[in-house]
């Protein structure tokens, strides 16, 4: 696979907002992301004990629940109320593009880690992120206009203002806009109600954690408290016993490729963890609990928020440019990732 530096984004060397972007707007976007993620997490927090009823989507174990659907509607309601002209891409209800689009698009996963949720495993969350122009000056350049037009064309449904099929966004168009320095992921929030943790970030403003399970003075690794946010900076690159996180798909051929790739990535790591939520894998890299994460074939809504949080924690990030593609972050040799397979 290519290791062009443009494929990578970290807090150092990432496209950061210039003087052309209103800091107030960036804070507003972050506030909406946090409120929306909290609204989705509040639905998930209604889960009682025991196993949750679920329907199968595309394969055995690829489940969807009523919680997924209700959480996505809760997230959408917050975004639509605050930003009625923004587009939304969600896992359960696809794309919604307003009649007069603003140029900003939200990517939401109402319940990342559904299998964990169904089985009563606590690693699940609501993930929300927004993509748009880094500043008005750059967006107005010919390159910026071309990139924005390509992204808008790939996102527009046949009937504007109506939901469309999932997966309508274009990774290539978004990547071109990021390469041009005109657009990027601007704000993100990941809220894990069973863990009592909220991660969030805005481009150029760092990554943060609020952990409601910790008491003041706790020496737990993540730090933070219910009332004071802890800035994240990853773990120790030289620490012994390094842990690599990954995930596996539902398709048998895809899973065989992923397992084979994992064997090639393991040198330099003491062990591997499979947590079951890509968003939380990325956040755990950002807070130093894990050292690296790599997974092949994830969807944009799986990584959109977590990737920005890792980048703002100052760690390298690789976002997919093709579908399927590699999502990776942390202290990992990106050159060791096997060649991407073409979509079938």
Residue 282: give its domain's CATH number: 3.40.190.80
The whole-angstrom separation of Cα 77 and Cα 84 is: 10
Instruction: Say yes or no: 252 and 212 in one domain.
Output: no
For the chain, how far is it from start to end, CA to CA, in angstroms?
18
Count CB atoms within 10 A of the CB of residue 320. 23
Instruction: Say yes or no: 60 and 163 in one domain.
Output: yes
pLDDT at 49: 62
Q: What is the pTM of this model?
A: 0.83
Residue 150 lies in a domain: yes
DSSP state, 204? T
Six-digit token pair at 54? 């679920």
Average pLDDT over residues 324-335: 92
Structure confidence by residue, pLDDT tens digits, 233-265: 998 888 888 999 999 887 788 888 888 888 888
Task: Name the one residue in this structure whose structure tokens are 């809504």.
Answer: 301
Residue that wins the pLDDT comparison between 3 and 74 = 74
Instruction: Say yes or no: 31 and 128 in one domain.
Output: yes
Boundary residue ending a domain (231, 265, 290) = 231
Number of structural domains, the chain?
2
Instruction: Say yes or no: 269 and 210 in one domain.
Output: no
User: CB-based contacts of 73: which residues, under 8 Å, 6+ apart?
Assistant: 93
Six-digit token pair at 215? 């008491």
Share of the chain above pLDDT 70, in %: 74
Coil, strand, or helix at residue 211?
Answer: strand
The whole-angstrom separation of Cα 50 and Cα 316 is: 39
Instruction: Say yes or no: 140 and 260 in one domain.
Output: no
Structure confidence by residue, pLDDT tens digits, 45-86: 987 665 555 555 555 555 567 788 899 999 999 999 999 999
Q: Which domain holds residue 287?
A: 243-336
Instruction: Say yes or no: 30 and 139 in one domain.
Output: yes
Instruction: Say yes or no: 144 and 257 in one domain.
Output: no
Residue that wins the pLDDT comparison between 186 and 1 = 186
The whole-angstrom separation of Cα 167 and Cα 271 is: 33
What CA–CA distances, in Å, run from 204 to 132, 133, 224? 14, 14, 20
Backbone angles phi, psi at 222, to 5 degrees: -75, -25
Task: Name the one residue in this structure whose structure tokens are 């950002």.
Answer: 286
Instruction: Say yes or no: 223 and 248 in one domain.
Output: no
pLDDT at 260: 84
Boundary residue ending a domain (164, 196, 231) = 231
Residue 236 lies in a domain: no
Q: What is the dihedral of CA 297, 234, 308, 177, to 10 degrees?
A: -90
């Amino acid at each position: 696979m290519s290791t062009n530096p443009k494929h990578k984004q970290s807090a150092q060397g990432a496209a950061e907002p210039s003087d052309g972007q209103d800091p107030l707007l960036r804070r507003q976007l972050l506030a909406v992301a946090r409120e929306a993620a909290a609204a989705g997490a509040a639905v998930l927090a209604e889960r009682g004990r025991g196993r949750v009823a679920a329907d199968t989507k595309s394969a055995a174990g690829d489940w969807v629940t009523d919680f997924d659907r209700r959480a996505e509607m809760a997230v959408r309601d917050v975004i639509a109320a605050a930003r009625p002209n923004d587009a939304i891409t969600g896992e359960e209800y696809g794309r919604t593009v307003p009649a007069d689009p603003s140029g900003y698009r939200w990517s939401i996963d109402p319940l990342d880690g559904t299998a964990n949720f169904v089985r009563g495993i606590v690693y699940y969350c609501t993930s929300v992120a927004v993509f748009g122009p880094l500043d008005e000056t750059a967006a107005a350049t010919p390159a910026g206009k071309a990139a924005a037009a390509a992204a808008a064309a790939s996102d527009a449904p046949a009937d504007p203002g109506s939901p469309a099929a999932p997966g309508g966004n274009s990774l290539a168009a978004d990547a071109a806009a990021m390469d041009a320095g005109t657009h990027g992921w601007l704000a993100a929030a990941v809220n894990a109600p069973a863990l009592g943790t909220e991660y969030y970030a805005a481009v150029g403003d760092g990554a943060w954690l609020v952990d409601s399970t910790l008491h003041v003075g706790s020496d737990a690794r993540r730090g933070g408290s219910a009332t004071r946010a802890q800035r994240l900076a990853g773990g120790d690159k030289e620490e012994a016993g390094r842990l690599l996180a990954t995930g596996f798909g539902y398709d048998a051929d895809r899973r065989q490729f992923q397992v084979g790739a994992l064997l090639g990535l393991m040198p330099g790591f003491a062990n591997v963890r499979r947590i079951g939520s890509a968003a939380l894998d990325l956040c755990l890299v950002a807070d130093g609990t894990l050292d690296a994460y790599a997974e092949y074939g994830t969807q944009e809504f799986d990584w959109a928020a977590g990737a920005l949080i890792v980048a703002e924690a100052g760690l390298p990030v690789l976002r997919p440019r093709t579908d399927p593609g590699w999502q990776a972050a942390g202290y990992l040799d990106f050159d060791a990732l096997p060649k991407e397979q073409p979509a079938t």
